[in-house]
Chain A
Amino acid sequence: MRKVILRRLLQNIVLVVVIVLVVFILMRLTAGDPARMKAPVFASDEILQSYREQFGTDRPLTAQLWDFVSGIPRGDFGTSFRYQQPVFELIWQRVPETALLAFTSLTLALLVAIVLGVAGARRPGSAIDRFGIAASTLGQSAPTFWVALMLVLIFSVHFRWFPAVGFTGWKSLVLPSIAVALAVFPADLRVLRSSMIDTFHQEHIRTARAFGISNRRITWLYAFRNAALPLITVVGIDLGYLLGGTIVAEVVFNYPGVGQLAIDSVNARDYPLIQAITILTAMVFVFVNLGIDVLYMVLDPRIRIEA
């Protein structure tokens, strides 16, 4: 088991390195000069050149790459072009807010998916099942920015229950979390519902019933444990939607998180910031997926023993 995890970890580190290199090169190949973004619109060539020297973007690509790579072991990810601050600090300040938003969104999404998915699987075609399917269709087809705007219109502007922008405590989390969760839960619900229905038809469930195990225990222990395996896989894939949705929600709600910083950094061609955010995001993916592999092994003894 430990060997498998170690191998997976090494593979993922290689993957992160590749991603970082690709981002490094792609950004410098695409149009847009960080100096122009920083300087006033009609700045002279000298001013632009001085910015380039300050940023180091006038130097050859290999030298820039070396600067970047050699800084990483020291925890130095460079200085933001736009904010003139070490990017590590910039990002670190905003991680808690984004992590909080991602966490509440995922929790909400899973809660809805589990309640509706299990209830629907117990009685396929029932009112609650049809409601779940309709809600997931809606969630999948409504774009997050639109949902976010509608939530603001209804609950901030009209009812004034929740703040529309910024971060001023738990109330600021509610609307962005709902907007993100709505995009994330449909895939969870569909997968859980269908794997739960499959599991209910398996013979070991009939055995449990034949021996007088209560329905509640059969559903939440015997069947759910079997059906949770595909759900966990989907949660790993969800992470992409979760981060994408978080960025959109942060922008719409002007929520001070890493997502906003990412958008800003792309607009400003703030190379060090973009690179650092990419590394961070890739690492999150790697560790979450590693966690999922471990969870899989914990839940499914067949995999644990093979490994």
Chain B
Amino acid sequence: MSEQTQPRLAVRNLTTVFHTRAGRFVAVDDISFDVYPGECLGIVGESGSGKSVAALSIMGLVDYPGQIEAGRIEYAGTDLRTLSENQLRRVRGEEIGIIFQDPQTSLNPLFTVGTQLVDVVRAHRKISKSEAAALAIEKMKLVGISAPESRMKSYPWELSGGQRQRIAIAMALLLGPKLIIADEPTTALDVSIQAQIVDLLISLKNELDFSLIFVSHDLGVIQNVANRVMVMYAGRMMETGEVGSLFRDPYHPYTAALLASAPTLRTNRSEPLQAIDGRLPSPGKLPPGCVFAPRCQYVQEDCRVRQPLLESIGDAGRRVACIHPLIALPDEVHV
């Protein structure tokens, strides 16, 4: 990758809030990241940390009472937030594809797989039904569905979980988008199928050269899929960097805690799994300083008052939002 490469997606200062009866909740708080052509960005974080809201915000799919309050979402140089609903409609599916968590609920139970796929094609292309069906069948073959012609006539609930998710992936691929967002695409599936789906996504990405945003709880999967990772906590970005170095040397105590609690990552099996004590703060009652301070085992006094900013530290591309990162900085070495 040359340094001149432009990011396909550049998100700047994205802030998404929910206005509920209990008040204003910031679900995504001032996050910025880039996704380059052909790369996979992993987003990790505990449940409720804002991963899905961030993913939906990119496509302008956050519903009332949620609202994108600030930020820019630049796709191929255009800020998607400035587009009209109709312009945005053309980007969805055509430029950016999305794969949701649970294909059982994310496909319409009253329409056949074929109807739904054909409808997506025809929402963007003025072609006949049979041409659209041919395209759908082609993509179904691509995702490894056997006898795609007869599967076209099946209803989603007639298929197995793995088959359904393959259909959902075929839908995302239909119009050849250059960016695909996968929001926990394996969480709802049988453990035995999860690896197949992950492998499928990796091989499709290599073959078709789209960019991928892969949201997951599972750090083991992220390690296999992603080039870079973004760690989120309570709507904020805690740390980001190349996947290898970040997993090897986490600078943020939250990243470290997350890695220590991940069963699929353990290299040293003699060390016990460490669950992170405490819970995510509720979005209405964020602590004043670092949001992770109440649960951090390295917490110091200033962490509770001063909010850390995301700063570049150490190796290329690594940014950490921590006042006392887990790295021996030159001035601290002498203390």
Contact = CB atoms under 8 A, between A and B. Distances in A.
B143 interface: no
Contact of A207 (B94, B107, B158): B107
B106 interface: yes
Contact of B110 (A203, A212, A217, A300): A300
Contacts of A213: 119-120, 123
Interface string B95-130: 001101010011111110000000110011000000
Contacts of A299: 110
B91 interface: yes
Interface in A284-307: 299-302, 305
Contacts of B306: none
A200 to B, nearest CB: 9
Interface core residue of B91, B102, B110, B171 (most chain A CB under 10 Å): B110
A137 interface: no
Interface string A196-210: 000000111011111
Contact of B105 (A204, A211, A215, A300): A204
Given A210-B59, A210-B98, A212-B89, A204 B106 contact: yes
Contacts of A215: 85
B93 interface: yes
What range describes how many residues of A lie at the interface? 20 to 34
B120 A212 contact: yes
A215 B61 CA distance: 13
Classify the interface of chain B: helix, strand, loop or mixed.
mixed
Contacts of A202: 105
B36 interface: no
A203 B100 contact: yes
B155 interface: yes
A295 to B, nearest CB: 13
B114 to A, nearest CB: 13
A207 B106 contact: yes
B272 to A, nearest CB: 38
A160 interface: no
A302 B157 contact: yes
Nearest to A211: B93
Interface residues of B, number: 29
Given A204-B106, A207-B106, A213-B123, A302 B155 contact: yes
A285 B120 CA distance: 41
A33 B260 CA distance: 91
A210 B105 contact: no
A300 B59 CA distance: 31
B81 interface: no
Given A226-B110, A302-B155, A214 B123 contact: yes
Contacts of A301: 109-110, 155
A203 B123 contact: no
A207 B174 CA distance: 14
A212 B124 contact: yes
Given A204-B107, A299-B110, A301-B155, A209 B61 contact: yes
A304 to B, nearest CB: 10
A225 interface: yes
A117 B237 CA distance: 42
A307 B249 CA distance: 59
A211 B92 contact: yes
A222 interface: yes
Given A202-B105, A302-B155, A211 B110 contact: no
Contacts of B91: 212
Interface string B132-158: 000000000000000000000001011
B89 A206 contact: no
Contacts of B123: 211-214, 217
B92 A210 contact: yes
Contact of B61 (A210, A302, A305): A210
B61 A208 contact: no
A104 B91 CA distance: 44
Interface string B236-252: 00000000000000000
Interface of B: 59, 61, 63, 85, 89-94, 97-98, 100, 102, 105-111, 119-120, 123-124, 155, 157-158, 171
24 contacts: A203-B106, A204-B107, A204-B109, A206-B100, A207-B100, A207-B108, A210-B61, A211-B92, A211-B93, A212-B91, A212-B123, A212-B124, A213-B120, A214-B123, A217-B119, A217-B123, A222-B108, A222-B111, A225-B111, A226-B108, A226-B110, A299-B110, A302-B155, A305-B155
Given A204-B109, A207-B107, A213-B119, 17 more contacts: A203-B102, A206-B63, A207-B108, A208-B108, A209-B92, A210-B59, A210-B93, A210-B100, A211-B120, A211-B123, A212-B93, A212-B123, A213-B120, A215-B85, A226-B109, A301-B109, A305-B155
Q: Which 7 A-B pairs have the closest CB atoms?
A: A211-B93, A212-B93, A212-B92, A204-B108, A203-B105, A211-B120, A203-B106
